[in-house]
Amino acid sequence: MTGHMTLGELRILAVHGLPEIRPGAALGTLIAGALADAGTPLESGDIVVVTHKVVAKAENALVDLASIIPSALATDFARRWNKDPRHIEVVLRQSARIVRMDRGVIISETRHGFVCANAGVDASNLIGGDVVCLLPKDPDRSAAAIADQIEETCGLRVPVIVCDTFGRPWREGLTNIAIGVAGLLPLHDYVGKRDSQGRELKVTALAVADELAGAAELVMGKLDRAPAAVVRGFPYQQGEGTARQLLRKAEMDMFR
Amino acid sequence: MTGHMTLGELRILAVHGLPEIRPGAALGTLIAGALADAGTPLESGDIVVVTHKVVAKAENALVDLASIIPSALATDFARRWNKDPRHIEVVLRQSARIVRMDRGVIISETRHGFVCANAGVDASNLIGGDVVCLLPKDPDRSAAAIADQIEETCGLRVPVIVCDTFGRPWREGLTNIAIGVAGLLPLHDYVGKRDSQGRELKVTALAVADELAGAAELVMGKLDRAPAAVVRGFPYQQGEGTARQLLRKAEMDMFR
The pLDDT tens digits of the residues spanning B64-84 come to: 999 999 999 999 999 999 999
Of A14, A128, A248, the CB nearest to B197: A128
A16 and B10 within 8 Å at the Cβ level: the answer is no
Average pLDDT for residues A104-127, to the nearest whole number? Answer: 85
Determine the pLDDT at residue A127: 52
Q: Tell me the pLDDT tens digit for each residue of A192-246.
A: 666 665 656 565 689 999 999 999 999 997 665 699 999 999 999 999 889 999 9
Where b means 16+ CB within 10 Å and e means fewer, A83-118 reads bbbbbbbbbbebbeeebebeeeebbbbbebbbbbbb
- For residues B169 and A94, what is the distance between their CA atoms, to the nearest angstrom? 21
Report residue B38: phi and psi, to 5°. -80, 0
Written as one string, the DSSP assignment of A173-215 is: SBEEEEEEEESB-SSEE-TT-B-TTSPBP---EE-HHHHHHHH
| Concatenated DSSP letters of B45-66 | T-EEEEEHHHHHHHTT-EEEGG
Domain boundaries along the sequence of chain A: 11-54+138-248, 62-131
CB contacts, 8 Å: A204 with chain B: 172-174
Residue of chain A with shortest Cα separation from B205: A173
Q: Please tell me the distance from the alpha carbon of residue A117 to that of residue A47, in angstroms, as a whole number.
A: 27
CA angle B251, B255, B256 (to 5 degrees): 65
> So what's the ipTM on this one?
0.90
* B123 in Cβ contact with B87 (< 8 Å): yes
pLDDT for A149-200, tens place per residue?
A: 999 999 999 999 999 999 888 899 999 999 999 999 999 987 666 666 565 6
Q: Is the pLDDT of residue A112 over 80?
A: yes
Which residues of B, range 58-87, sit inside 8 Å of A by Cβ? none
CB contact under 8 A, A16 and B38: no
Architecture of domain B17-60+136-247: 2-Layer Sandwich (3.30)
> Residue A34 pLDDT more than 90?
yes
Q: Is A211 on the interface with B (CB under 8 A)?
A: yes
In this prediction, the residues of chain B whose per-residue pLDDT falls under 50 are 1-7
Asked if B195 reaches chain A (Cβ–Cβ under 8 Å), the answer is yes
- Superfamily for the B62-131 domain: CofE-like domain (3.90.1660.10)
Q: What is the mean pLDDT of residues A4-8?
A: 49
What is the rounded distance in angstroms from the CA atom of residue A114 to the CA atom of residue A116?
Answer: 6
pLDDT for the residue B1: 32
Please give the CATH topology (third level) of the domain spanning A11-54+138-248. Answer: 60s Ribosomal Protein L30; Chain: A; (3.30.1330)
